[in-house]
Structure 1
């Protein structure tokens, strides 16, 4: 059972809202703790508690749940409940080095969905941003309660082309296989995530990029070495050719120079599920530019509403 908390996030977290147009009179999220694996995940809960559908936001390696409060507020204003957890080791979810791992992140999200569904049955839509897109796919491939998958990217980190785009230096790619055993030896040693990846390509807006890179809860975070290796060797329960569990919406930034749409297309085109691809004009990796931001809302809100309607029809 999640435990309600007073809002503990620093003022820095509120600055992300400056880059979005917030809906009128957006209610503040309710901050909660969810116990998992001997640790606790901090998460925000937005929207009506009795909503017929819950959207679960899945952040990437430079983010955390509160960063996406403006988008969560949009979904909540449309009548949906939204959960925005901080994955282990990010935001305000401190975790031992073993849990700061892509596979452990998947298990944490599966446990959260299961606990939420046990408490109050309803369908879930996953919304994954950045490398959280592939993570959301991993979860959707295993959870029976996920009825829709929306992502800003679908770059498969096992793909050498994707690895070349994500890792800062070619010689670092050669080190990846040894990072897992090395992390077991170093245990408590954590290094800046920006050492390994192109965090400077987070956004086309220099101010937003600087904010993310300086944020100790997100892009300025330090992570165990094993996290980098786990990004590139976590295998899904089913490959995309067999994935028919739910419809997929890819709302990909058109001007993303960190994970270009071409590398997400390599995975997207293999999906067997019903799918829709929308390019967000003028948007970089962190989509805030117009008209792309409106295009994201115009695609996402109807997608979630359709899934809510389909589930309500099936239940009736």
Structure 2
């Protein structure tokens, strides 16, 4: 994250520019934006967007992907779910959004998983309300990795925009920037991760198909100017662990909580068939899929946005009673 980056989203222009591509009903003003908090984890200062509601019967924790950030989750889900009576909190994981990484550290994808596991424990220490975890893009599989590792009963459900196992070569082939990166990049990152070059940064736009993040070309121009989301650079260590992370429980044995896939029907980055290898192996808990009509990977379009919000609200209500 550039040193000139603002500390709070209230001082950042990028999300304000992006929300102009959303339906008017989802655009936030200063008085409807979430409250901004910071949570300290292992010396890192983790940024949180929260819509507090002590009367809410459930909380929804929102997680971004490798081309987005927490404020972008607040726009499409945090605020609309809060209006429906849920408490929502969107976090910026290490290296993204406005989270401040402890100087001298090079976080890995394993740290992303551990951070969310510990954050859920922190939330449960505040009160005992049930929690559902949502993840967009790479955040979808992160919800699975977190649910597989967290103590039983931590989550009542997980929702993903995708569930991608990056150990699968087909997933790498279709979601990487190009075929050469998909085939040669991962072994190279594995070698470099064992050297001092592990801390070297690499643009996600060259590692993955970030160009397909949104289907609106003008929205993509805004996203690609934002170093806190789509224009971010991540470390070699992060990429290596992201591509090779082994879950605490494989899908065949996963029984932590119900699963919902909210799949954009016009997703040009991670189409539905790439989530099937994971979800088809989960048989010990309910797994449901909802297709979002007309929606891109980061959904800006109706009716997909409303379908997503309806499906997640129904899922949370059903599994947190």
Please confirm whether the aligned pair reaches a TM-score higher than 0.5, indicating the same fold: yes
Q: Which runs of 5+ in 2 are unaligned?
A: 1-6
Farther-moved stretch of structure 1 (154-163 vs 182-191): 182-191
User: Once the two structures are superposed, what CA deviation does each residue of 1:122-155 show, in whole Å capped at 9, x if it has no partner?
Assistant: 2110111001100111011122311111111111
Match for residue 253 of structure 2? 242
**Cα distance change on mapping 1:97 and 1:157 into 2, 3 Å:** farther
Matches of 1:6 and 1:190, distance apart in 2: 24
**Cα distance change on mapping 1:9 and 1:235 into 2, 3 Å:** farther
Matches of 2:80 and 2:264, distance apart in 1: 19
Match for residue 40 of structure 1? 45
Matches of 1:269 and 1:126, distance apart in 2: 20
Alignment partner of 1:92 is 2:98 = yes
**Cα distance change on mapping 1:191 and 1:9 into 2, 3 Å:** farther
Q: 2:83 aligns with which of 77, 80, 96?
A: 77
Alignment partner of 1:161 is 2:161 = no
Contact 1:75 1:301 in 2 (8 A): yes
Matches of 1:119 and 1:250, distance apart in 2: 29
Matches of 2:27 and 2:109, distance apart in 1: 36
CA RMSD of aligned residues (A): 2.0
Match for residue 152 of structure 1? 161
Normalising by structure 1, we get a TM-score of 0.90
The CA deviation at 1:98 is 4.9
Match for residue 14 of structure 1? 16
User: Once the two structures are superposed, what CA deviation does each residue of 1:13-35 show, in whole Å capped at 9, x if it has no partner?
Assistant: 22332233335987321111111
Matches of 1:91 and 1:77, distance apart in 2: 24
Match for residue 127 of structure 1? 134
Q: Which runs of 5+ in 1 are unaligned?
A: 310-316
Farther-moved stretch of structure 1 (222-231 vs 74-83): 222-231
Q: 1:57 aligns with which of 62, 65, 89?
A: 62
User: Once the two structures are superposed, what CA deviation does each residue of 1:259-316 show, in whole Å capped at 9, x if it has no partner?
Assistant: 111111121111121011111112121122222222212211111111232xxxxxxx
Match for residue 241 of structure 2? 230
The CA deviation at 1:239 is 1.1
User: Once the two structures are superposed, what CA deviation does each residue of 1:217-252 show, in whole Å capped at 9, x if it has no partner?
Assistant: 111112112222111111111111111221111110
- Higher relative CO (Cα under 8 Å, sequence separation at least 6) belongs to 2
Contact 1:153 1:259 in 2 (8 A): yes
Match for residue 313 of structure 1? none
Q: Aligned residues, how many? A: 305
**Cα distance change on mapping 1:298 and 1:225 into 2, 3 Å:** same
Contact 1:97 1:224 in 2 (8 A): no
Contact 1:89 1:99 in 2 (8 A): no
The CA deviation at 1:50 is 4.2
Matches of 1:252 and 1:160, distance apart in 2: 21
Normalising by structure 2, we get a TM-score of 0.89
Contact 1:128 1:135 in 2 (8 A): yes
Contact 1:56 1:83 in 2 (8 A): yes
Matches of 1:244 and 1:119, distance apart in 2: 26
